[in-house]
Every structure is written in C-alpha cells, then in structure tokens.
Amino acid sequence: MKKLLFAFLLIYAGNIYAQKFEGLALTPPMGWNSWNTFAVNINEDLVMGIADKMVSSGMKDAGYNYLVLDDAWMAKERDNQGNLVTDPKKFPHGIKAVADYVHAKGLKFGLYNCAGTKTCAGYPGTRGYEYQDARQYAAWGVDYLKFDWCNTEGINAKEAYTTMSKAIKAAGRPMIFSLCEWGSNKPWEWAAPVGQLWRTTSDITNLFSGVKKINNWEPFSVMRIIELQNAIRKYAGPDHWNDPDMLEVGNGMTRNEDRAHFSMWCMLAAPLIAGNDLRKMTPQTTEILTNKEVIAVDQDSLGVEGYKYAEKDSVETWIKPLKGGLAICFLNRSLKPQAIEFKWADNPLHDDLSGMTVNFNTTAYKVRDVWTKKDIGKTTKTFKQEVPAHDVVMLRLYK
C-alpha cells in the first residue's frame, strides 16, 4: 500500500511540474532560423523561398524540418484587443498563410517572441499576454516557439518561462518551446519540465575563435561556446537539450572551420538550426549541412552529449557515447596542421553519465571516417592522421 501511495505521489508531482508537450524532441531539433543572416529584414517571399530551398537542397531529406521566423515579424503595436498584429508590409497575407505554405512543403513552422515587455528589436513582447499569444500561435499553426530574454528587468526567468510553457500547453497545439535566455539563470538546472531546449550562452557569431566587438557587445565565437558546454552535459538528454545557439555554417568562415563547427555541434548533441541563406548555398556548404553520417551522431537515440577526453598540442579529443558504439572527434584549434597518434589500447574509456565502458584491449571496433564516408580499419591498429588547421577528424566506432 505504501509503495502504491508513493507511486501515485510521484505521478501527481510529475503532472504538476511537467508543463511542456512531451516527446516532441526525442533527438535534438533540426531546422532553419532567419536571424543570423537576415536579422529584422524578413518578409513573406523570403520565408517561402527558404521553404522551397529546404526541400530542393536536400535539407529536409537530411532531417531539417523546422522553419523558424525570428524577431521583427510583427507590427510595432498590438491591436485594440491586445492581439499581436503581423506586419502588413512584410507579410501581406498574414502569418497563417505563411505557416500554411511551410506546412504544404512537409515542414513545420516556428515563430519568435520574448519574455520581456518588448523583443530585442523593439517589437511587442509577451509579458502579461502569455495565454493570449499562445492561443494566437496555435490558431496560426505554429509548431515551434523561440522565446527570448530582452527587456526583462525585474522578471524572474523561471517564473516567466514556466508561465509561457503552461500557456502553450493550455492552447492545445503541440509546440517545441525553445528557451533563449542565454544561460544567465542556469536554465539547465530547472527547465527540463518547461521546454525542449534552452540556450546555454550569449549569441554566436561567424567567428571560429577570438573576439569580435559589435558596438559595446561581444558575441561568442564557436570555440568560446564549446568551452562552456562540458560542465553541463549531464543536464541534456531526450526531449531536454542544451542549446549552444544556431549554426554559422555558410556565413563566412572557412570550409575547415564550418566543418569543425558542425562536427562539434553534433558531438554536443546540439539542436542543428541552420542560419545561412539557403538560396545561395555553395556546394561545400550544402555538403557540410547535409552529411547524414555526421548528422546521425547528433541524432543518436541514446541522446548523450559528448565530452572532452584529452588535449595535446592544441588538439582536443572529444568522445560521444552512441547506441551501439561511439564517436570520437579530434579538434585542431591551432592555425597549423597537427599530426595525431591515438593508441586505442592505451585509452580505455569510461563515461559515468551514459555508463559506457570501452576496453580496446578486449573489444575491437571498426573505424569509419564520417567526413570521407570510408571505413578505415579497426581499433587493433594505432590511428595516425594529420588534422588540418581549424578542422576536425571525426570517426564513428562500431562493432
């Protein structure tokens, strides 16, 4: 009887604290977002063109299914009933028509708003209108809500995001809820019942390493973001993901840097949200973003975030446990090529988080290079290779 009572209390407590729609992101969400390339310069034709290209470029076939419209889609003021109003010049047929077009392509549609009184670009925020806005999004057919954190002075993050999560649930339409409060309030500690993903850092920029200043603000480079992920990997898993921000692949970094950036996001089990102009992709950008073998590492059903295992001569070795094997990524952070030599027998692996234990002395694995898409031997032989500057060698090991 006591056991039954305890079980009932656990279920009851779970129902109280689990606000979000469950099961929408058992693997990290994949899609495209307008902000990194277009910022506030968005319109109806752009969205439709991107939807077309998501299909024709192979992005949809590779798993990218959410098209998310970021800030500045709305008019500067709500109407006299407090409803959000679509900008009539940018979207003359309204958001519902745009969402319908995206859905007709076999894709899902996402929108942006903010937990504060105004969005980051100065448009109407959601504070005080959570349930009203959620009903509006549901009526428009929204499948994904990105919720930012500007103009939030005096607002409690956990309370604000929990309220919006409950509003989405009450509206009745399943939506992925993306918390974008930049990691300021450690959402990884409390947001698992609230949303499917949460930002862990400030905004990314198209810089591999170093510092870029924009007025008095410093967005984060790819490497700086990676440095901040290792300590919080235990909080990520199916339906609740650490989000190191959107991808900058195709936005001005070198091919090597794009490949390293994409590889590491996959090693981190990160949401893969492209941020480039899909209509102008080069073949090499398309090749990187649609590499299904690399994407499979990110989308592995075990849902375990990778970790940094070792570092030598500016080359970091990262390990990601996978269902039925593991991935290993050698990341060269230096400006010159680096030769690596990895003696499998000297590197037994154990990960407390996933329970993975690998002894290469007793178990031999096949080794596959997921960028060249070639099997290159077994772990019975020492792995030797040169890693180009600002690039990776990424391997998948399987029995």
Indicate which residues carry an active-site annotation: 148, 203
Cross-strand bridge partners of residue 325 = 322, 398
**CB of 271 closer than 8 Å to CB of 240:** no
In total, the chain counts a number of residues equal to 399
Q: Is the separation of the CB atoms in 236 and 199 below 8 Å?
A: no
Rounded-to-integer distance, Cα 50 and Cα 250, Å:
15
φ/ψ of 346, rounded to 5, equals -90, 5
Task: Identify the residue whose tokens are 């936005």.
Answer: 251
Of 320, 278, 318, nearest to 298 by C-alpha is 320
Rounded to 10 degrees, the C-alpha dihedral 40/46/52/53 comes to: -60
| Per-position DSSP letters for 211-234, written without gaps between them | ---BTTB-PBPHHHHHHTTGGGGG
Identify whether the C-beta of residue 129 lies closer than 8 Å to the C-beta of residue 117: no
Is residue 263 within 8 Å of residue 247, measured between CB atoms? Answer: no
**3-state class of 170 per DSSP?**
helix
The whole-angstrom separation of Cα 192 and Cα 16 is: 13
